[in-house]
């Protein structure tokens, strides 16, 4: 049993508030927290069982950060498209001309599994350096059974090698690959057909789709979700990013873990989310990098009591972001979240967006995943641009050394 002392705790317990506690302590055993509180309240029977102790020197301790939406595994980059967009081309124009997601599919298929792994490992390491202890990684740049399998396998190997919990999401319905050009419905059949095979290999924790004018229709998304439901897999959705198709309402009908992006979400979409249990995952990196001007309806989501998560959406086209702390900052400056909402968005609400109940807050029974920061108050996590105050990341009760 390990006692961590002199922690300035921000537990994030309950539905609001930082849960601040100076002179706090944590007791971990194995991968879990047994007790969290003020050191002078430590029960005697626990105190007698402590075999190791670590003084955290009064540093701030928060739950480990969780990046609940990334596309980290892909070949190539799209810096050229960034230049085109700066000269006036729109994201949709580039996609319709065969660029966008499809150009990354070509580069991903051309890469070996080792190349995909090496490139993604560097990107993932950047996230870990800032305290990410759980990360979601989507497929979606392979778009054939073999290539999706390879990308999900890479995601799985990354988790083991880099000491981070990787949740794997199957995003076969990301774009129509060239061999199915003009046959989107046949491609959706294929996406549905591959799902069970990927699941049997233990490579699918959830199923996602890109419901959009340049992606898939609501009817096609419904077929993907029905197949997922038949296999007992939870769903989530890229919804209302560039237009309002009503994908959110569909996703809520299927009990989606989260609806992500939501810039064009309508009042009816907010209504559907309210009380559905689905998390609104906001992606300020994509909003910023696409130079979007339409804001997600934050105040309506807040008033409806919809939990909000914040993620990097790391991908080569719309969000080459590798800093979850920067996303927390941008959620405040661009989306007007409070620092507390933004930090909750990258911890407890991010855990909810992944269907994980065992992390995101510091309390007995939760995983011992936490970050130790050189900060006097947790609002500093939302404050700096480009400073990394992480001192230590602890995952499953062990200090991470990678
Ligand atoms: O989350 N919107 C769809 N998927 C990604 C972008 C993918 C890409 O452009 O490569 C996103 O923004
Ligand atoms: Fe995305």
* ipTM for the assembly: 0.95
Name which of 382, 391, 396, 348 is nearest 6 in CA terms: 391
Best substitution site from 315, 316, 327 to test ligand 1's pocket, by max atoms within 8 Å of Cβ?
315
Residues 6+ apart with CB under 8 A from 23: 6, 8, 38, 39, 40
Residue 132 contacts residue 390 (beta carbons within 8 Å): no
Beta strand 132-138 pairing with 165-173? parallel
Q: What is the pLDDT of residue 402?
A: 66
Distance CA 162, CA 251 (A): 32
The rounded Å distance from CA 313 to ligand 1 centre is 8
Ligand 1, atom nearest to 261 Cα: 1
Residue/partner pairs of 154-159 with CB below 8 Å, 24 or more apart: 154/73, 154/113, 154/116, 154/117, 154/120, 155/72, 155/73, 155/120, 155/203, 156/202, 156/203, 157/117, 158/72, 158/73, 158/117, 158/120, 158/121, 158/124
Query: What residue owns the CA closest to ligand 1's atom 9?
Result: 317
Give 10-residue mean pLDDT values along the chain (402 residues): 98 97 97 98 97 98 99 98 96 93 98 98 98 98 98 98 98 98 98 98 99 97 99 98 98 98 98 97 98 98 98 98 98 98 99 98 98 98 98 98 76
Q: What is the pLDDT of residue 206?
A: 99
Residue 318 contacts residue 91 (beta carbons within 8 Å): yes
User: Torsion over CA of 332, 82, 170 and 276, rounded to 10 degrees?
Assistant: 30
Beta strand 52-63 pairing with 2-10? parallel
Residue 135 contacts residue 173 (beta carbons within 8 Å): no
71 is in an annotated binding site: yes
213 is in an annotated binding site: no
The rounded Å distance from CA 208 to ligand 2 centre is 9
Q: Which ligand is nearest to the CA of 71?
A: 2
78 is in an annotated binding site: yes
316 CB less than 6 Å from ligand 1? yes
- Reduce the DSSP state of residue 79 to 3 states and report it: helix
101 CB less than 6 Å from ligand 1? yes
187 CB less than 6 Å from ligand 1? no
Ligand 1, atom nearest to 141 Cα: 10
DSSP state of 89: -
Q: What is the pLDDT of residue 401?
A: 86
134 CB less than 6 Å from ligand 1? no
313 CB less than 6 Å from ligand 1? yes
Among the residues of 169-310, which ranges form H helices?
A: 184-200, 218-230, 247-253, 267-273, 284-289, 298-303
85 CB less than 6 Å from ligand 1? no
């Amino acid at each position: 049993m390990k006692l961590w002392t002199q922690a300035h705790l921000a537990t994030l317990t309950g539905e609001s508030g930082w849960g601040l506690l100076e002179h706090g302590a944590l007791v971990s055993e194995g991968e879990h927290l047994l007790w969290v509180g003020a050191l002078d309240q430590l029960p005697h029977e626990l105190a007698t069982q402590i075999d190791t102790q670590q003084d955290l020197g009064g540093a701030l301790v928060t739950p480990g950060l969780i990046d609940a939406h990334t596309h980290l595994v892909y070949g190539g980059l799209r810096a050229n498209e960034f230049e085109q967009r700066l000269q006036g081309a729109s994201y949709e124009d580039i996609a319709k001309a065969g660029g966008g997601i499809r150009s990354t599919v070509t580069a991903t298929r051309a890469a070996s599994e080792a190349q995909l792994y090496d490139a993604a490992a560097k990107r993932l390491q950047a996230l870990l350096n800032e305290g990410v202890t759980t990360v979601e990684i989507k497929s979606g740049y392979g778009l054939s059974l073999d290539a999706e399998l390879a990308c999900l396998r890479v995601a799985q190997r990354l988790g083991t090698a880099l000491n981070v919990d990787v949740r794997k999401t199957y995003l076969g319905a990301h774009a129509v690959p060239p061999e199915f050009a003009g046959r989107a419905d046949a491609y959706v059949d294929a996406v549905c057909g591959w799902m069970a095979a990927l699941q049997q290999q233990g490579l699918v924790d959830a199923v996602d789709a890109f419901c959009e004018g340049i992606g898939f229709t609501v009817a096609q998304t419904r077929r993907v979700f029905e197949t997922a439901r038949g296999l007992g897999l939870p769903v989530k959705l890229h919804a209302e990013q560039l237009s309002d198709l009503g994908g959110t309402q569909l996703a809520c009908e299927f009990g989606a873990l989260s609806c992500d992006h939501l810039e064009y979400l309508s009042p009816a979409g907010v209504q559907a989310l309210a009380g559905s249990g689905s998390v609104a995952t906001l992606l300020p990196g994509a909003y910023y990098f696409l130079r979007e001007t339409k804001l997600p309806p934050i105040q309506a989501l807040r008033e409806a009591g919809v939990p909000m998560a914040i993620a990097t959406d790391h991908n080569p086209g719309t969000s080459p972001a590798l800093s979850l702390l920067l996303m927390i900052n941008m959620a405040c400056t661009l989306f007007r979240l409070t620092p507390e909402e933004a930090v909750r968005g990258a911890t407890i609400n991010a855990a909810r967006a992944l269907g994980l109940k065992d992390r995101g807050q510091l309390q007995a029974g939760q995983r011992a995943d936490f970050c130790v920061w050189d900060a006097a108050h947790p609002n500093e996590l939302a404050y700096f641009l480009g400073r990394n105050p992480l001192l230590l990341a602890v995952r499953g009760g062990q200090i991470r050394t990678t």
